[in-house]
Amino acid sequence: MKQSVSSGAMSLMASEGVFILSNYLLHIGIARYLGIEAYGIFGVLMSLYLLNRSFLNTGFPRAVSKFMAEKQSVSLIRTSLILQIIIALFFAFGYILFAPTIATWLHNPTLISDIRFLGIMVIPLALMALYTGGYMNGLSQYQEQAFVKFAFPVLRVVLAALFIILGMNIFGALLGMFIASVICLLFCFPLVKFSKQNTTESGTLFKLLSFAIPATIGALALTSLRNINVLFVQSILKDNLQTGLFTAALTLSNIPYLIITAFPLALLPAISSSYAAKDIERTKNYIIKSLRYLLLLLLPITALLSATATDVLHIFYGASYTGAGPVFVLLMISATFLALFVTLSTVIDGIGKPMLVMSITLFFIFLMILLNFYFIPLYGLMGVAFSSFITSFLAFCIVGSYVYYKFKVLLKMRSTINIVFASVIVFLLAYVLGFHSLYVFVTYFICGIVYLSCLFILREITPEDAQRARKVFKFH
């Protein structure tokens, strides 16, 4: 049964919360249990996995979701399934064949067997993504999608922990992810409810490819903006210790980016549907409200974590990782700009211009690679953080300018000023309070109250907003 965008976004937000928590449990457990150098290797493998995930699990399923939301057909279902299987097999063989080459570039030949196993993992992960991010999302089966997205990270953490304790180390984490993906794929089959009145239409393959190819390349480039830097750290610095420190800073700084993952998932079919119906006012409403809620959520989190960076690293990873504090702060700010970039890119995808998103993202990937080669030899880990900040900020500015040009809306100036002002107050207060260790959570509690109070005083949050507190979007 179809669910509304607001309730769907809430369900997906809840499942994303579980995913975020499980991801951090996995990362922190490996970092503490196996040590910094082993954690650096895990970070490299996860970067390779995320690049693959963006290609198979984001771009093509997003295309399927868009067309399923517009019109469901037998040919769409059949064609998309065949294509996803073919592409997954292609990538699987690519990992298996080129594992030695990748390991050589990373200056770590011990990675060959793990990289090959990543290739095997591709197949169930790709099919699971097609069912959840493609079919379920396009059919507005948000609760079913949220269930699978909840089950996968839970199973992954439990199985990975079990195998690591049994002495399988990093490979145990990969094996746990693989088994969890197979189990959740089996869950997907009975959950997807296709219409019994499906129609058959011609040109399905061309429609899918014309949208999916640029959307997939754009998704790959987008993930590269955030995760490819781990590979450059390993390749240029040739130091597992430095890679481990950077992975810790990057993982924690991903919080703003991970929190908003559900926004694009729920926003894409909504934008596609309203724009296809030529309901421009409703499309504008989606843009304004989604960006406002994003800022309300992201800016105070970025401010708090940036003000307490060293304490956060110490609490979650231990004293050995606190040297990555300055890198963490800059990556946090970069992640916030990237989260806004992703949301605005979803709007552009939704109006049928994935080629534009792809072109913009590829340009900034190229820019970031150049900046990495320049900054990393000069500034080490801070050089990577500089390149991330520059590229994510400029990318946000470009897509924001295009969306404003297209719809003449973006963010209301008054709301932006209010939210930025309240977030600056929160940052200064958190910095001045100076609670350390676990007492930093007292700081967060106090600052949270101050932040909400500021917004109420500024009339940014109204009684009507309070009544909608359980909803992320109000699109209807």
Residues 396 and 429 placed together within one structural domain of the fold: no
Residues 385 and 449 placed together within one structural domain of the fold: no
- Per residue in 339-355, pLDDT (tens digit) is 889 888 888 888 888 78
Asked if residue 474 belongs to a domain, the reply is no
Cα–Cα dist 257/54, whole Å: 14
Token readout for 421 is 């002002």
Residues 284 and 350 placed together within one structural domain of the fold: yes
Asked if residue 30 belongs to a domain, the reply is yes
Residues 41 and 189 placed together within one structural domain of the fold: yes
Q: With contact defined as beta carbons under 8 Å apart, do 193 and 133 qualify?
A: no
- Per residue in 404-444, pLDDT (tens digit) is 999 988 888 899 999 999 999 999 999 888 777 778 889 99
Asked if residue 31 belongs to a domain, the reply is yes
Say what the pLDDT of residue 67 is: 77
Chain-centroid distance of CA 220 in Å reads: 12
Query: Which residues does 58 contact at the CB level (< 8 Å), separation at least 6?
Result: 129, 133, 216, 219, 222, 223
Specify the length of the chain in residues.
Answer: 476
User: Sorting pLDDT into bands at 50, 70 and 90, what band is 11?
Assistant: low
Residues 301 and 211 placed together within one structural domain of the fold: yes
Residues 417 and 400 placed together within one structural domain of the fold: no
Q: What is the mean pLDDT of the chain?
A: 84
Q: Where are the alpha helices (DSSP H) in 318-462?
A: 325-350, 354-379, 381-407, 413-433, 440-457
Residues 140 and 42 placed together within one structural domain of the fold: yes
Asked if residue 476 belongs to a domain, the reply is no
Q: With contact defined as beta carbons under 8 Å apart, do 29 and 98 qualify?
A: no
User: Sorting pLDDT into bands at 50, 70 and 90, what band is 380?
Assistant: very high
Asked if residue 165 belongs to a domain, the reply is yes
Say what the pLDDT of residue 9 is: 59
Say what the pLDDT of residue 376 is: 93
Cα–Cα dist 363/217, whole Å: 12
User: Sorting pLDDT into bands at 50, 70 and 90, what band is 203?
Assistant: low
Asked if residue 182 belongs to a domain, the reply is yes
Highest mean pLDDT among 63-77, 150-164, 181-195: 150-164
**pTM, entire model:** 0.78
Residues 419 and 390 placed together within one structural domain of the fold: no
Mean pLDDT value across residues 265-291: 80
Cα–Cα dist 105/333, whole Å: 30
Query: Per-residue pLDDT for 474 more than 50?
Result: no
- For the chain, the domain total comes to 2
Cα–Cα dist 330/309, whole Å: 10
Query: At what angle are helices 142-163 and 5-34 packed, to 10 degrees?
Result: 10
Asked if residue 475 belongs to a domain, the reply is no
Residues 419 and 406 placed together within one structural domain of the fold: no
Cα–Cα dist 476/469, whole Å: 15
Query: Per-residue pLDDT for 476 more than 90?
Result: no
Mean pLDDT value across residues 380-386: 94
Residues 358 and 457 placed together within one structural domain of the fold: no
User: Sorting pLDDT into bands at 50, 70 and 90, what band is 473?
Assistant: very low
Residues 434 and 289 placed together within one structural domain of the fold: no
Query: Per-residue pLDDT for 8 more than 80?
Result: no
Asked if residue 47 belongs to a domain, the reply is yes
Residues 358 and 465 placed together within one structural domain of the fold: no
- Per residue in 162-181, pLDDT (tens digit) is 999 999 999 999 999 999 99
Domain interval for residue 433: 412-469
Cα–Cα dist 251/9, whole Å: 24
Q: With contact defined as beta carbons under 8 Å apart, do 390 and 371 qualify?
A: yes
